[in-house]
């Protein structure tokens, strides 16, 4: 069996912008949006058979690029996990879809689209999955109003 560090180093070494980090013992690679899909293809070729999840993070005012896309990969053959992270534009939050690489990313990308407004280029059916089709906005964005129902109280009982 090949050493985990060698597998990761070989994979990351083929990409100019890839930055390898450690997060609580898990390998994390930060990529440019331009290398997102090609890195995913290389990761699958390197033995990462499963894309377990795709989600987004809204950094709102904390980072120049407001959103990050996060994909969690798993290699059962190597018994290894890898997290991919790429920034996505504040004005036009768009990145390549991973569905052509891992078809199981379909619903996770639709959820990120629905909840955060991230557009996945090349997705076969990028439509809302949780909210009604006519819903205005994206509920997990930090600037989305929490809403509420106005409540009017009658005169409260005074305790003496």
Confidence at residue 45, expressed as pLDDT on a 0 to 100 scale:
97
C-alpha dihedral over 15, 17, 18, 22, to 10 degrees? Answer: 160
| pLDDT tens-place string over residues 85-143 | 999 988 899 999 999 999 999 999 999 999 999 999 999 999 999 999 999 999 999 98
Confidence at residue 158, expressed as pLDDT on a 0 to 100 scale:
57
Above pLDDT 90, what percent of the chain?
78
| pLDDT tens-place string over residues 43-80 | 999 999 999 999 999 999 888 899 999 999 999 999 99
Confidence at residue 140, expressed as pLDDT on a 0 to 100 scale:
94
* Gyration radius (Cα) of the chain, Å: 20
Confidence at residue 1, expressed as pLDDT on a 0 to 100 scale:
46
CA distance 129 to 10: 37
The mean predicted confidence, pLDDT, of the chain is: 92
Confidence at residue 153, expressed as pLDDT on a 0 to 100 scale:
67
């Amino acid at each position: 069996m090949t050493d985990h560090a060698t597998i990761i180093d070989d994979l990351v070494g083929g990409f100019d912008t890839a930055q390898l980090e450690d997060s609580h013992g898990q390998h994390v690679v930060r990529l440019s949006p331009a290398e997102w899909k090609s890195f995913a293809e290389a990761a699958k070729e390197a033995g990462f058979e499963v894309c377990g999840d795709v989600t987004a993070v809204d950094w709102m005012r904390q980072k120049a690029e407001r959103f990050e896309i996060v994909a969690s990969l798993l290699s059962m053959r190597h018994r290894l996990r890898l997290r991919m992270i790429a920034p996505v534009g504040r004005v036009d939050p768009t990145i390549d879809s991973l569905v052509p690489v891992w078809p199981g990313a379909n619903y996770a990308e639709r959820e990120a689209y629905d909840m955060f407004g991230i557009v996945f280029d090349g997705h076969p059916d990028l439509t809302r999955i949780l909210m009604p089709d006519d819903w205005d906005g994206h509920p997990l964005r930090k600037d989305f109003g929490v809403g509420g129902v106005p409540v009017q109280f009658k005169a409260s009982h005074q305790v003496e």
